[in-house]
Chain A
């Protein structure tokens, strides 16, 4: 069949979301109050439909095998499924955001008094349309096989979020954070676009498989990779790291997370991060045709980014008294942890003979994919709870004092917060515990012992500020300066996230397997021929004996 049609046939979920977004946008402007309030339902329906499309999509083998770190189709299905699932929860907790704006309330009130409805005052349509568009972009990132495609997908993920941040709260802070977010985002986009251009210049193609072929040819003939390619890759990785809020592109995170409404912040913490990591997996895939020696600059770059992200994130998180900023820095730190998995994956792919199948904790990509979901659930719960607490000034809860005694004032929210935070620390039986074992295990498997030790030290530092959140919720006198108001939708969304965090921690086998399958190498034959450790008694001894200790 026509390759174009082939490709299009894998895009039903995205097209569904796109259509949903258009309908939302129109419905939000309707003169009828009932239709005007429908965008959240439209968004929910289109998300469900998209999920159905993903679930029923035949996982066709991608055209180009051997090009990527992982098979594109499997990865795409996993990521799209995760986006749909977490997206539905995000929609639940964000369903009230536009209604809480004073513009909306005033516009509706004016209509109720018999005045003329002012469509400009109501943001519902735009908000949910942008919500869907951003999810659509993240899904497109997962299916990208081309740099240009990737660029468009990444921007489609990010651009709507700028608007969502600006319109999520009627506070100057929201707009300021949106402005910062936009400028830094545009700059990051310029950086990675430049990187893409250089990669194109060096390899002559924007398609992953052709880039991979080029790198493979270079590597096979023993030539060094062109410096231009390395610079391009470095710039691309650094630019994309804006989406995952890793150092040195992390600056926006704290300011933006603080400025945006809680549900939108949860959105920012999950959707662009997922898109960014999936893009990184895709970008690094072709480069991994080279050997580890040739990729040294990139591997070191990732290493430094991981260490700095963890350390900067956790240290700055320690210094905050604003819980949203704390969670923002924790988001930076978690990107650092996930980069550890990515490094393991790159190390595995570039080291001949290393086992990449996920059976022995070895697969960094699988660990990363698993952790993305783990992190998404936990952070969603935490921000949802924060969004439920308002101060006397009508502002969202920000400081530790604002959430003081939440456990007593609203036990359910308290428990959700507790579970979310414990999962973020990585304590059992929450899913974060398994996620961390998986991530760090994959890095250790490839000899990155010091990296893991740094990561573990960082987890210990992070425990301090996470515990302060628990301490504020459970061990402090209830603060009567704040109100706790929970809508059923938010409660449901946060509760499902929290229950998910526990359930996946206790019985996450399915998700682990799914992540492992999603991260399976594109060509099954590769696994077969890889020297798997023998099962007999003599060879129990270090199957990784030649794995030297690396930083």
Chain B
């Protein structure tokens, strides 16, 4: 089989099985479990076949998918990727079985649960194997979606849903940052996959650093690094199988995995790598462990130790930037990742199991070991796993922690002295807290034997219950699966710890062929040899264990210190939606038309000044030498000025008068004054059109006013700013109109319209109409009688010269010529529209419809529709918005809106 398809199938196998499971009848629980088991099994089988054929260093396989989006099915099946894939599917298999035990034979829950879980498994397998950036992103975001579905399992519990959202927002936002980072990395380096990037190498320039920081932000959010860690304890609202799967071995490791993918490529090249990752990881590691010690709920304890362990892993990758004896300080270091999965998954599994039969609260679990039933075996498995958490000798965890300490030790030269010792103390402190947690668990479960008078806190343990209380105590093999998966997983801890050679031969050798590791193998894994030659790492372990036991027995640091980040997200959410948001934005969207128009007007004036702000002097240069009134008739000028003043007066009056009818009349005055201006400047036809429009629109206004209800006069607000704004808008429009008609364009030979000497539009029209023609050359009679061949005036033929400059239109009047010849179709359209409007008015006058409430629920538009003449008051903006002249922007009194900006709610 084509290896790429083989890997693709392995990735998709779980989700296919999940989908197939949804087709099964709801009652068929057994079949459903079988189908779900098939998913990870198939995935493992396909991966196994792949490894058999290609080994663990198979390299890159690719099939084009959407190449123009740089999206290819490109997989990098190297040790790290395959290790993760096996881990995900292997633990996934056990979780499927565990979930069956946890939910009991509850059809509805399993019906929902398995598809979501298997979808997540596919996404996680994809993350592990994807090489292409976009493909990685695709799977990465799919893990966010599916984990949202899984964490928000208790859908009747609002707090659980909120926690799921919190988890999704944090990890999803990180994923988006990662998207920006990966796309930036891709476009900057032209490498769209990790393998290409590794082959090409990176330089430590600024863009690469920015890209890395963005990608790392995604990784840190997913892997719960301080200060983004709070989503992980919150995600404990999920049912335990989810926690055991997502929050131990898989999802939270995705960030660590991604960092691991990046380190061989970038750790050495980017100076920021160790400086950012080591402190962040160390802080997370100590902080998580410290908070974990304060908690009493089992899942909360393990959640915070997970945070701690994730910090440790990050810190470790940070240390990988350094070299030790010319060897990298680290090869993938899957030991550490594997180790964490091998104790944390059982811890969660058993936390769920114990919560299932008793309680998850430590004070209620005193002497649980002795309660009989499955209590003893459950406690035992839990304590075995917790021993792993404490990194006790004889576990893989111990080896792994030694590794980590060695790494710190090896970085001694690279890290300045005080910081080195801070790091050492952080490592020891983390170990100490973990040991203390183990000691407290042991003491509570086994040594505290006092009867607690505890009745089954069963319901409490499930925080809202997922409806399986009735069949929680089923018989048969399934209840044992509450702890069997845990036992299976934890046993590897001890195989790895007690038989390191065997473990190395079967597991580590394939996936982590470290020369450093192998050189140290005899001494490192052999405890006896190790004890004989103690170095700093071993001393650190010893100190951690000693201090941890002391701390565990001491009655201090129990529930004293609460994680302040618990309130981070809810606080932020409240801040934004309740306080800042409404304050900052409430005034913008009031649902009030007047304020909208004000905003638009403000931004328009602002934009005008702003776009000239770049070069105000250029504007001054545009201003022509002088404005010349090309008229010899004084009466024309005087009348023109008078009419213009009248038009301006109406504009000023419009906002001042309050009565609707008066406003309509003022508007009418304006229109008629403009008509007079047209007539004055020899455009009788335009004047005719305008006067018809004025009459029609006046009648329409009056008709409409008769239909809308009376409006109570309202007090005016913000008068002064409105006046200023009006003046500004008017000024801007005036300025622009004047300039655009007078603008002197630089000559542009490519434009047909500009040949000849006309340099302004006005001049162009004038020259091409009779009015502007020198009648000495072209006697009027000749022009009007059509003796001049019109064809030679066609614009754009480019043949006529200065002498033969001829009118484009044969008429006697510039306006006529423009209307009829240059814009004949327009005029026809105008006439048609006018005729239609007149017909409409005529119809309306015949039958005035009443706007009663038959089809309108009583709204703010009122219901006292008056008859003719019963109009009073006026909605300012309702009148006319031809161009935003001052009169409109200051209009007021629009009816209170029915559609207002709703007040926010949580």
Contact = CB atoms under 8 A, between A and B. Distances in A.
Interface of A: 101-103, 170-173, 175-177, 179-180, 183-184, 186-188, 190-191, 194, 197-198, 200-205, 210, 213-214, 217-218, 223-224, 226-228, 230-231, 234-235, 238, 248-249, 251-252, 254-255, 258-259, 296-297, 301, 312, 315-316, 318-322, 325, 358-362, 422, 425-429, 433-434, 436-438, 440-441, 444-445, 449, 452-453, 455-457, 459-460, 463-464, 467-468, 471, 474-477, 508-509, 512-513, 516, 533, 540-544, 549
Closest 10 CB pairs of A and B: A172-B859, A460-B173, A201-B740, A319-B904, A248-B603, A475-B155, A251-B596, A428-B138, A475-B161, A213-B750
Contacts of A249: 600
Contacts of B615: 224, 227
Contacts of A180: 593, 596, 897, 899
B156 A429 contact: no
Nearest to B71: A434
Contact of B855 (A170, A453, A464, A533): A170
Contacts of A170: 855-857
A474 B160 CA distance: 13
Interface in B882-896: 882-884, 888
B761 interface: yes
Interface stretch (B46-54, B183-191, B247-255, B503-511): B183-191
Contacts of A234: 607-608, 611
A49 B230 CA distance: 57
Nearest to B162: A471
B210 A217 contact: no
Interface in B562-587: 573, 576-577, 581-582, 584-585
B314 to A, nearest CB: 22
Given A205-B751, A228-B740, A463 B169 contact: yes
A453 B855 CA distance: 49
Contacts of A203: 745
Given A175-B861, A463-B173, A540 B190 contact: yes
13 contacts: A183-B877, A201-B743, A204-B748, A238-B603, A296-B614, A312-B588, A425-B172, A427-B141, A444-B183, A444-B188, A471-B152, A474-B155, A509-B68
B206 interface: yes
Contacts of A360: 70, 187, 190
A468 B169 CA distance: 11
Interface in B98-146: 134, 137-139, 141-142, 144-145
A511 to B, nearest CB: 9
B138 A429 contact: yes
A194 B155 CA distance: 54
Given A180-B593, A227-B618, A453-B214, A194 B736 contact: yes
Contacts of A463: 168-169, 172-173, 176
B550 interface: no
A59 to B, nearest CB: 20
Given A440-B183, A459-B176, A516-B68, A475 B855 contact: no
Contact of A460 (B149, B172, B189): B172
A183 B611 CA distance: 26
A214 B748 contact: yes
Nearest to A239: B604
A322 B902 contact: yes
A249 B601 CA distance: 10
Given A172-B860, A179-B878, A238 B612 contact: no
B29 to A, nearest CB: 21
Interface residues of B, number: 107
Contact of B596 (A194, A252, A296, A436): A252
B751 A254 contact: no
A210 B751 contact: yes
Contacts of A235: 604, 607-608
B66 A460 contact: no
B610 interface: yes
A214 B165 contact: no
B855 A467 contact: no
Interface string B213-225: 0100000000000
B116 to A, nearest CB: 11
A512 B69 contact: yes
Contact of A453 (B180, B612, B743): B180
A180 B596 CA distance: 9
B362 interface: no
Contacts of B905: 321
A351 B743 CA distance: 29
B62 interface: no
Interface in B867-882: 877-878, 881-882
B452 interface: no
Nearest to A209: B750
B424 to A, nearest CB: 37
B66 A512 contact: yes
B878 A361 contact: no
A183 B904 CA distance: 27
B488 interface: no
B751 A214 contact: yes
B861 A176 contact: yes
Given A190-B881, A453-B214, A312 B612 contact: no
B898 interface: yes
B207 interface: yes
B782 interface: no
B619 A213 contact: no
B596 A320 contact: no
B745 A204 contact: yes
Nearest to A212: B750
Interface in B807-863: 855-861
B611 A230 contact: yes
A259 B591 CA distance: 11
A358 B68 contact: yes
Interface in B21-76: 65-71
Contacts of A184: 593, 596-597, 600
Contacts of B784: none
A224 B619 CA distance: 11
Nearest to B606: A248
A541 B905 CA distance: 51
Interface in B437-490: none
A542 B188 contact: yes
Given A205-B753, A325-B901, A360-B187, 12 more contacts: A172-B860, A175-B856, A230-B611, A234-B608, A249-B600, A319-B585, A320-B902, A434-B69, A452-B180, A540-B200, A542-B188, A542-B207
B4 interface: no
A436 B134 CA distance: 11
Nearest to B148: A467
Contacts of A543: 190
Nearest to B64: A509
Nearest to A218: B746
Contacts of B152: 471, 474-475
B428 to A, nearest CB: 37
Contacts of A227: 611-612, 615, 618-619, 622
Contacts of A474: 149, 152, 155
Given A179-B878, A428-B141, A453-B214, A226 B745 contact: yes
Contacts of A428: 137-139, 141-142
B179 A325 contact: no
Most buried by B among A202, A223, A234, A460: A460
B589 interface: yes
Contact of B179 (A103, A297, A436): A436
Contacts of A544: 187-188
B190 A542 contact: yes
Contacts of B766: none
